[in-house]
A and B are shown apart, each in its own frame.
Chain A
Amino acid sequence: MAAAAESVLGVFAHVDATVRALEELRAKGYHDLTVYMPVPVHQIEDVLERDRPVSRVRLFTLIGGLIGVISGFLLTIWSAMVWGITLGGKHPFSIPPYVVIAFELTILFGGIATLIGMVILGRLPRLTLSPTYDPRFTSDRFGVAVHCAPERGTSVRAILSGAGAEEVRP
């Protein structure tokens, strides 16, 4: 959004009213929206996710998991080659027992990478909360913040209150 942009916030008590506001805003061409939800509600998510690619968190998981499986085998095979204990004249390394280590590291690295992915993509941690945030959004209210040019503010306010917002500000 440009520096001169304005953010209009509508506070909603009901899911269907929120969905109505979102549909109308999108129909009118407003796409720079932030929707606050106390809990992800699928009716709202359906509207938002319609033209969005799937979250990229899964890429983090995949890369983490692959690093895990590779490092699991590398660690075990490499250490057996360097410090191997030869028993019964057999080869110092053996793949089946190393599968256990590789499996555990796959899960470990995959899980940690998923957490990192969520934190990075969700832009966490934040030191200050955004100006449109309201503490009621973690309890029982839904919020739609529209970021638009200042001259559009009036029409956005009209859409939000027309859809049934309890409160529109500023």
Chain B
Amino acid sequence: MSTVPEALPPTYADVNRDVERTLAPPGNLYFTWMCVVGLILTAGILAWTYQIWVGMGAAGKRTPQMWAMYITTFVFWIGIGNADTLISAVLYLFRAGWRTSIYRAAEAMTIFAVLTAGLFPLIHAGRMWFAYYLLPYANQRYLWPNFKSPLVWDVFAISTYLSISTVFFITGLVPDIAALRDTSTGWRRRIYGMLALGWEGADSQWRHYRRAYGLLAALATPLVLSVHSVVSWDFAMALVPGWHSTLFAPFFVNGAIFSGFAMVVVLVLPMRHFFQLHRYVTDKHLDAVAKLILITSLVLTYFYLCEIFTAWYSGDHFEKASLFWKITETYAWALWLMYFCNCISPLILFWKKARTNVVILYVVSILVLIGMWFERFNIIVPSLGHDFYPYTWGIYIPTPTDTMIVVGSFAWFFLLFLGFIKLMPSLSIVEVKEVIPPPMKDARHAGHH
């Protein structure tokens, strides 16, 4: 393929060949990364074991700071997943061609992010072997979840989200795996053959497939809005100053999409570099993602201003006191760091060259991820630390145990992603072909035989 000039659009056969190339046996660099990530994950697991052994005090949990770091990280990871549903469902329905090159990686990212997020309620609950209490099932102890509780809504929202994302992901993978089955050999062929379900690409399969895919996109579209809205109601349904706001649902959804796109950049740029996918992930794609990061950043800035304004204009003493404390006291550094990362740093993307400059885009995306983690921290910790009564005020200080668990969760996420890119097509074979002009005999396109 290297003989074909970059300017020419790839042919159908090129796409197959380039995707198969990404699945070639990995080199030392890959295994080094795997080792680093595996070691960090081991440290995280040890920290969790220690927490189970010693108790929740090891995580710095004491009233009023019972949510602290774990729920912060939980909301962060759920948010990461959200952008992908936008890419795979909403942009599909809008027929945005540029989504095709990045959607597979983004979809894998969603599932892994939700799997990571799903660990945190368990870690946070302490005695996670009782987690099944959340599920509604007939039992002799008369224990039933209270369906009026936002925490139970959350269980349903997250489980549905994970299930539907997985269904969507699997559906998209079937024709691609069939393509891999047809060129691979040995054990890979046997496994791909099983996973491809006997897909042949016959018209009788495609017509149901296409219809099903469109319907799944239509079903997943309201999920983009609902998942993080439900997560936001975990907060907004409570009376805590700084939480009890109707602003929360759109504010969370927008923030989720913002951080999700930043994570897409963080994952896709190295993938493009190491797999040499420059023909598929072009400057046009980076530009489109950067524009979405910019617009969601501006909307987020508006929400931050609204939050400040409504607290000030409410006339409510507790709201104003909570806001003033957040801006000026113990955790003020986290708030201002968040404003810098989420509102100021993406502004550079107004500059056209920055949107396609790999280094600038990467740095901005990492700043956005830091900023969005701190956003959730700023919502949870300072609000809990300074609510109605002075006798319930309190400061949270991270401990090595909970910090290690949070860092370990990143390792878990990257471990899953690293495993995925070497076993499954990280670029969608079928969808990339959909945006390539089909081979025609008449009015020949350059590059076709």
Chain A interface residues (CB < 8 Å from chain B): 13-17, 33-41, 43-45, 48-49, 52, 54-58, 61, 65, 75-76, 79-80, 82-83, 85, 94, 97-98, 100-101, 103-105, 107-108, 110-112, 114-115, 117-119, 121-130, 133, 135-140, 164
Contact = CB atoms under 8 A, between A and B. Distances in A.
A118 B152 CA distance: 31
A94 B157 CA distance: 19
B197 A37 contact: no
B144 A83 contact: yes
B170 A138 contact: no
B211 interface: yes
A39 B215 contact: no
A126 B160 contact: no
B220 A111 contact: yes
Interface in B1-54: 11-13, 16
Contacts of B433: 38-39
Given A43-B438, A104-B157, A115 B179 contact: no
A14 B198 contact: no
Name, among B160, B163, B167, B440, the residue most crowded by chain A CB atoms within 10 Å (CB to CB): B160
B441 A138 contact: no
B204 interface: yes
A41 B163 CA distance: 30
Given A55-B211, A57-B212, A114-B215, A100 B157 contact: yes
Contacts of A43: 438
B292 to A, nearest CB: 24
Contact of A123 (B163, B204, B438): B204
B183 A105 contact: no
A115 B212 contact: yes
- Mostly, the B contact residues are helix
Given A38-B201, A140-B13, A122 B208 contact: yes
B222 interface: yes
A140 B157 contact: no
Contacts of B442: 16
Contacts of B429: 138
Interface string B125-168: 00000000000100000101111100011001101100110011
Contacts of B273: none
B167 A115 contact: yes
20 contacts: A16-B440, A39-B438, A41-B438, A45-B206, A55-B212, A97-B153, A98-B147, A100-B157, A107-B220, A111-B163, A114-B167, A114-B219, A115-B167, A115-B212, A124-B205, A125-B198, A130-B200, A138-B16, A139-B12, A140-B11
Q: What 3 A-B pairs have minimum CB-CB distances, sorted nearest first?
A: A126-B198, A140-B12, A135-B182
Nearest to B156: A104
A47 to B, nearest CB: 10
Interface in B399-449: 429-430, 433-434, 438-442, 449
Contact of B144 (A39, A79, A112): A79
Nearest to B16: A139
A61 B167 CA distance: 13
A121 B230 CA distance: 35
Given A101-B147, A118-B212, A138 B220 contact: no
Contacts of A121: 208
A76 B219 contact: no
Contacts of B16: 138-140
B95 interface: no
Contacts of A55: 207-208, 210-212
Given A13-B449, A108-B163, A123-B204, A39 B198 contact: no
Contacts of A83: 142, 144
B160 A37 contact: no
A79 B147 contact: yes
Contacts of A41: 438
A38 B147 contact: no
B199 interface: yes
Interface in B179-230: 179, 181-183, 197-212, 215-216, 219-220, 222-223, 226, 230
B209 A133 contact: no
A39 B440 contact: no
A68 B284 CA distance: 41
B219 A111 contact: yes
B179 A114 contact: no
B81 interface: no
A165 to B, nearest CB: 11
Given A52-B207, A80-B147, A140-B439, A114 B201 contact: no
A14 B164 CA distance: 36
Contacts of B216: 111, 114-115
Nearest to B198: A126
B354 to A, nearest CB: 35
B183 A135 contact: yes
A57 B217 CA distance: 14
Name, among B145, B200, B430, the residue most crowded by chain A CB atoms within 10 Å (CB to CB): B200
B203 A37 contact: yes
A138 B438 contact: no
A15 B438 contact: yes
B426 to A, nearest CB: 17
B437 to A, nearest CB: 10
